[in-house]
Structures are given as C-alpha cells and as structure tokens.
Chain A
Amino acid sequence: MPSITLAQGLNEALRYCMQRDDRVVVMGEDVGRAGGVFRVTDKLQQEFGEQRVIDTPLAESGIVGTGIGLAIYGFKPVCEMQFDGFTYPAFEQIISHLAKYRSRTMGKLPLSVVVRIPYGGGIGAVEHHSESLEAYFTHTAGLKVVTPSTPSDAFALLVEAIEDPDPVIFLEPKRRYWIREDVELPVVSNGDRRKARIVHEGTDVTILTYGPSVRTVEDAVAEATKDGVSCEVIDLRWLNPLDIETIMASVKKTGRAVVVTEASVTGSFSAELAARISEDDFLSLNAPVIRVGGYDIPYPPAKVEDLYLPDLDRVLDAVDKVLNY
C-alpha cells in the first residue's frame, strides 16, 4: 500500500474529482504553474489546462466572488485561500453571498463551492499565517465546515466536500500536510466519513478534537494510557453538520469531556461543544467540560508559538482536572 502525505491526499482528491466531473474547476493564487504554495494543486494545471486550473489575480474577494458567479453558471469551483490570515478580504462574499444564496433564492440558485483554507500554526510562519478561523464559519448559517486530520480523510473528505451541493469551508491543518499514512486510493467514502471518527476507544474521559490537534491528542493519550487512564478520542471531521450523536454517546459513557483545539477558547467552537454537551446531558457529566486551546491573544510570534499551542502536558493536565474534579 503506498504511503502518501496529507497534502498528496488532497492533491489526489482534486485530480479524482476533476477527472470524474468536467465542471470542477480549481482557482486561486499560485494554484496553476506553481501547484500551490503547499503543492496541493501540484501538476493539475498540466493535466487539466489553464481553463480548469486558474491562476487568479491576487485578490481573495475576487476569487470567491467569481467562484460564486461560476457556480451560478453551473461550474463547481474549488477556491483556494493561500493562508488562513488572507481569507478575511473574502469574508463579505463568503458570509453575505456564499452562505446565503441558497436561502435567498429559495433553493433556485444553490452554490456548490468549496473554499479550501490552510489553517492553524506550528510551522514557524510570520504573522497572519497561523490562524484558526473555524468559529467564524461555524457561526454562519448556510456554510458547512470540515477539517481532515489524516491523509485518507484528506482525500475522502475533500471528495465529499466537492460533491456536496452546499458550500463547504474546507480547513486544511497546515502543520500536518506532511504526515504520512499507507492509503490505497481512491478511498471510497460511502457516507461513513460524515460521522465523527473514534480515534481511540476508552471509558474514563472523552477528548473531542479535530484537524491539527488530533495528532497532539493522540500523543497525550499514549502517555495517559501508560498511567492507566482510558481516554476516548473523537476526531469530529465535520464541524457543521456536527455528529452530535457520536459525541453524546461517548460523553454518556465516560461522564467527562475535554475539548482540544488550537483556536483561542473565548467564543470558539470548543465553547459551542461545551455548551451543547451540558445542555443535552448535564446529568451524565461528573465534571465540567474543560477546554484546552490557544490563549485569548493574537497568535504569537513563531519563536514562542509552542508555548501557545496546546501540547501533550496541557492536554494531560485537563484530563487530570476532569478526573479529579
């Protein structure tokens, strides 16, 4: 079985979709000749031509706005934002149009558009290249939001996102672009990846996480297991639609929940998870839901980003806290 990186999984997913559906087009800054700054669109322009793999002018609102026009016409654009922190110029198009067009037109003009965004920190980048912006999108009705954590999920979830009739924000954990997995492609997803993935079964505490933090949590759980703590780790995959069923079944079993994200915690998606768990099944909880995330500060300079990002120790501390509450 070939070993592929997460970035290769994404690249193969794009190729797979473009081969199967000639309405799929890829557009963004440097996606053509350069193959994307993370090589996610590598060699696609050579294979599919300049009309289907479009090097756009450098303007994010333009990329999403013209993507919307292409979708109204009947194409299925996959728009790339080069980095998380450069997505903000496209916000008006995403929030005011991409998310609302289907509703505004009573379903007459649905927009099947994917916006791919590399997100999160940990790669030693300069300012504006390390942000976690999932809460902006999960807060916006009309958008779906998904983030893979493994190469096989990268392939399968991107195919699902492109085939989805609704607009999807596809968040790529940039510091995990180079992690490897033995994968036989194409990964056939029969809808099972719409469900959250139970990464590790356990009985003492549920740890909810997604994207780049999954690997961090896996490392922490390996340590906790040595200490005799049984952790159940859930990789959410889709933040919207959220697989609340899997989450609640696990929390009912363990009675304890920890949420681990890179995003700062105030007003975050982890806040949403904590609120929902306590609303849905307060009596199953033996301890409050504890969140481990970034601090409520701008993403720090690279030399100190390791102090900001949740690490093994902070995850283990949170596990201790809910166990000893």
Chain B
Amino acid sequence: MKGYVDPSTVSTESVQVLKPDGTLVPDHGFDLDLKEEDLREIYRVMILTRKVDQESTNLQRQGELGVYTPALGQEGAQVGAAYALEPQDWIFPSYRELGFAMLRGVQPSHILHLFRGTWHGGLYDYREHRLAPYSVPIATQALHAVGFATGAKIDGANTVVIACFGDGATSEGDFHEACNFAGVWKAPVVFYCQNNGYAISVPLSKQTAAPTIAVKALGYGFPGVRVDGNDVLGCYVVTREALRRARRGEGPTLIEAVTYRRGPHSTADDATRYRTDEELKHWEALDPIARFETYLEAEGVLTAEFKDQCDSEGRDAATKLRQEIVGAGPLDPALIFEHVYTERSPILQQEFEEFMEDQEGR
C-alpha cells in the first residue's frame, strides 16, 4: 500500500561466486579480475591466518596469553575483503581481524602482545600498515572509520576506509550513528559486517528483527549487499565494488558477510552452552579454505609444491610467534606513565617519581 514499506519483501539471498563444492556459480555476474598470482596470494594469506590463529589459541590454552578471540572459519570473509583494498586504504578493525592484519604484513606477535597484556594497542605500526588499533568497545571504531574517511575526502585523497565489526555491533548506537553520518556525508567508507551468527552466546535472531543486516543500509540512504562469507571470491568482488563506488565519490556501502565463528567468542567462553555439534559440523563442511582449495586445484593454480610452501610458511610463522611471545617479559613499567599526555602534569610527575622509587625498592 502507498506509503508503507514491508520487510517481508526484502531479499535474504546472498551473493555467491564460488559454490560450497568449489565450482564457480555460472553467471555470477562479477568480473573476476584475479590473476593466478592473486589467487595464490589470497590462498597463502588464508593459510597463514589459520595457522597463526590456531597457534594463538594454543598459546592462550598454555597460559601465555590472557585471552584470545579466534578467527577460525572467518578467514575467507577477512582475506577476501582485505585483498580488495588498495595499499593506501585504511582498516578500522574490531578485535577479531587477524586475516586483515596478516594481509597487511603485520608481525603476528605485534598483535598478540595485546592479548598477552604487554600493551593495550599491540605493538605494530598503525600508519605503516594502515591498520588502526584493535578496538574492543563494540562498534565504536565504525565512527572513527567515518571520521577518517571524511578527512580523506576533505583532503581529496584517494583513500577509502573499511570499518570491520560483527553482527552484535549492529545493535549498538555507534553503528547507527556511523552509518547515518557516512550516508549524509557520502563518506568513502565500506561498512564490513562479519555476521558470524553469534554475539558471544546471543544468536542473530535475538539481536535484530530485520530480515538481513544488509537491508539496514537502506535506512541510511546507501546500498547494502549480503554475501556468502565463506566464499572468499564473493567477499572479494563485493568489497571491490564497494571500494570502487566509494572512490567514485558515491559514498558508503554496507556489506554483510554471512559466515560462522567456529571457535568460541574468546578463549574464556564455552560455546557448547549455546550451540550444537550439528550446527558446528554443518559449518565445518562449508570451510572457506577447503572450498577455495578445491577450486584452485581444479583450475590448476595450486601445485602441491605451493601448498607445502604455504603450510611451511604458516608453521614457521607460528613457531616465530611462539618464540616472540613465550618468555617475553613486560615492557619497561615506566612506559605506563609515558604516553598518557604529551607532558606529565606536576601531580602525575609526583606519582611517577613515587612509582619509580617503589620499583627500585623491589
């Protein structure tokens, strides 16, 4: 009826390029511009991500990390989107974005020191990698992404920003404010939601009554797209299109990558309390790496030699990570007073001196 909008008319289908059996969807409608070396690079980073992720979980189980938030199962969603970015584009991550960080060449231990309790922001160089610090308060980084993108737009820079968050984040006010500001300002930003099914224990059905997350984009005046988040090529093409749109000055896109978090929310969480083995098995069968591997093998892109090379690189990275984490002591404790302000106030200076005297007395 005139004047009404109806959520039941919204499509809940997802973009898919690569089917779960590893064959291409006929007529998927996207220009697959990836050369063989691109495909191999995506594969390499996915393997690296999985190995480093697994070793991070191991390190936590062995008491070397305070906590860890595994990305297992989300490698396709992360690496596919990350591969679409230009080097100058910035990533504003949540706390579960290892695939993005691995593609940007961040040293794994520099991220993991955050979870070890060495330093809150990790130890990597944010500007060098164009990767903002991991953000823990949910959805808050989406606003930073919009502000940064707006700065780039004012400057006329050819920079687009991708804001990463999960399905739970779409319930937060900051998600709404970020989308709304970005829509009004036509900010060159891509909102990248990895809908991994759960916000800790709460399933999406208890998070929103909307038929999809992608449809929320309409409320902000820009397009949304739902994509199979375990299809790395699908994630790549929809992100590429969103980035192109942003670079043309047409503003934001909301991408909903439907995936599944096969690990717990964090290592402090017991996922058996809220989900079934059957569900987990269903998603294991949809593994993003296995699917991509099948495709690459059929295409003759993936030789046994290259696979071995990726495996051994992943193992080496895990070993190096372990070496850099295990036994790493705290940073110089004086640093906790060092970066609060540009200069310490007289009162803070007095506290600092008392603190240092206490340290020397130990």
The distance in angstroms between the C-alpha atoms of A220 and B135, with both chains bound, is: 50
Q: Give the chain B neighbours of A56 by CB distance below 8 A.
A: 181
Within 8 A of B (CB), among A31-64: 51, 56-57, 59, 61-62, 64
Question: A69 and B346: CB pair below 8 A?
Answer: no
Question: A61 and B342: CB pair below 8 A?
Answer: no
Question: B177 and A61: CB pair below 8 A?
Answer: yes
Q: Give the chain B neighbours of A25 by CB distance below 8 A.
A: 154
Q: Give the chain A neighbours of B341 by CB distance below 8 A.
A: 102, 142, 144, 166, 241
Evaluate whether A67 and B180 lie within 8 angstroms (CB atoms) in the complex, with A92-B140, A103-B340, A166-B342 already known: no
Interface size on B, residues (CB 8 A): 44
Q: Give the chain A neighbours of B140 by CB distance below 8 A.
A: 65, 92-93, 96-97
Question: Is A74's CB within 8 Å of the partner chain B?
Answer: yes
Question: B181 and A66: CB pair below 8 A?
Answer: yes
Return the chain A residue nearest B132 by Cβ: A72
Question: A57 and B339: CB pair below 8 A?
Answer: no
- Shortest C-beta distance, A169 to chain B (Å), equals 13
Question: A242 and B181: CB pair below 8 A?
Answer: no
Instruction: From B119, B155, B180, B345, give the contact of A106 (CB < 8 A).
Output: B119
Q: Chain A interface: which of B120-128, B196-204, B237-245?
A: B120-128
Instruction: From A77, A89, A101, give the contact of B173 (CB < 8 A).
Output: A89
Interface size on A, residues (CB 8 A): 48
Instruction: From B149, B154, B181, B339, give the contact of A107 (CB < 8 A).
Output: B339
- Shortest C-beta distance, B140 to chain A (Å), equals 6
The distance in angstroms between the C-alpha atoms of A265 and B217, with both chains bound, is: 46
Question: Is A128's CB within 8 Å of the partner chain B?
Answer: no
Question: B133 and A104: CB pair below 8 A?
Answer: yes
| A 175-208 binary contact with B (CB < 8 Å = 1; else 0) | 0000000000000000000000000000000000
Evaluate whether A242 and B121 lie within 8 angstroms (CB atoms) in the complex, with A68-B144, A69-B144, A69-B149 already known: no
The distance in angstroms between the C-alpha atoms of A102 and B120, with both chains bound, is: 11
The distance in angstroms between the C-alpha atoms of A276 and B346, with both chains bound, is: 13
| A 61-100 binary contact with B (CB < 8 Å = 1; else 0) | 1101111111111110100000000000100110011001
Evaluate whether A72 and B148 lie within 8 angstroms (CB atoms) in the complex, with A108-B126, A109-B133 already known: yes
Question: A65 and B347: CB pair below 8 A?
Answer: no
Question: A69 and B147: CB pair below 8 A?
Answer: yes
Return the chain A residue nearest B161 by Cβ: A69
Instruction: From B120, B147, B174, give the contact of A104 (CB < 8 A).
Output: B120
Question: A105 and B146: CB pair below 8 A?
Answer: no
Return the chain A residue nearest B92 by Cβ: A69
Question: Is B215's CB within 8 Å of the partner chain A?
Answer: no
| B 148-186 binary contact with A (CB < 8 Å = 1; else 0) | 111110110000000000000000011001101100100
Q: Give the chain A neighbours of B135 by CB distance below 8 A.
A: 97
The distance in angstroms between the C-alpha atoms of A97 and B142, with both chains bound, is: 12
Evaluate whether A69 and B120 lie within 8 angstroms (CB atoms) in the complex, with A61-B174, A104-B133 already known: no
- Shortest C-beta distance, B246 to chain A (Å), equals 15
The distance in angstroms between the C-alpha atoms of A141 and B120, with both chains bound, is: 15
Q: Which secondary structure characterizes the binding site on chain B? A: helix
Evaluate whether A72 and B181 lie within 8 angstroms (CB atoms) in the complex, with A142-B340, A166-B341, A245-B346 already known: no
Evaluate whether A106 and B347 lie within 8 angstroms (CB atoms) in the complex, with A65-B143, A66-B143 already known: no
Question: B133 and A61: CB pair below 8 A?
Answer: no
Q: Give the chain B neighbours of A106 by CB distance below 8 A.
A: 119, 121, 123, 335, 338-339
Question: Is B137's CB within 8 Å of the partner chain A?
Answer: yes
The distance in angstroms between the C-alpha atoms of A65 and B335, with both chains bound, is: 26
Question: B148 and A70: CB pair below 8 A?
Answer: yes
Instruction: From A64, A67, A69, A92, give the contact of B137 (CB < 8 A).
Output: A92
| B 100-137 binary contact with A (CB < 8 Å = 1; else 0) | 00000000000000000001110101110000110101
Question: B137 and A96: CB pair below 8 A?
Answer: yes
Return the chain B residue nearest A276 by Cβ: B347
Question: Is B321's CB within 8 Å of the partner chain A?
Answer: no
- Shortest C-beta distance, B346 to chain A (Å), equals 6
Q: Give the chain B neighbours of A74 by CB distance below 8 A.
A: 151
Evaluate whether A69 and B342 lie within 8 angstroms (CB atoms) in the complex, with A96-B140, A106-B335 already known: no
Instruction: From B126, B146, B173, B335, give the contact of A66 (CB < 8 A).
Output: B146
Instruction: From B120, B142, B338, B347, give the contact of A244 (CB < 8 A).
Output: B347
CB pairs A–B below 8 angstroms (7 shown): A51-B154, A65-B174, A66-B147, A66-B150, A68-B144, A71-B147, A93-B143
Task: Tell me the B residues contacting A by CB distance below 8 Å.
Answer: 92, 119-121, 123, 125-127, 132-133, 135, 137, 140, 142-152, 154-155, 173-174, 177-178, 180-181, 184, 335-336, 338-342, 345-348
Known: A62-B178, A69-B144, A241-B347. 19 other contacts (CB 8 A): A59-B177, A62-B174, A64-B143, A65-B143, A65-B174, A66-B146, A66-B181, A69-B145, A69-B147, A70-B151, A77-B147, A92-B140, A92-B174, A93-B174, A96-B137, A105-B133, A109-B133, A142-B340, A241-B345
**7 closest Cβ contacts across the A-B interface?**
A69-B147, A65-B143, A73-B151, A241-B345, A66-B147, A62-B177, A104-B121
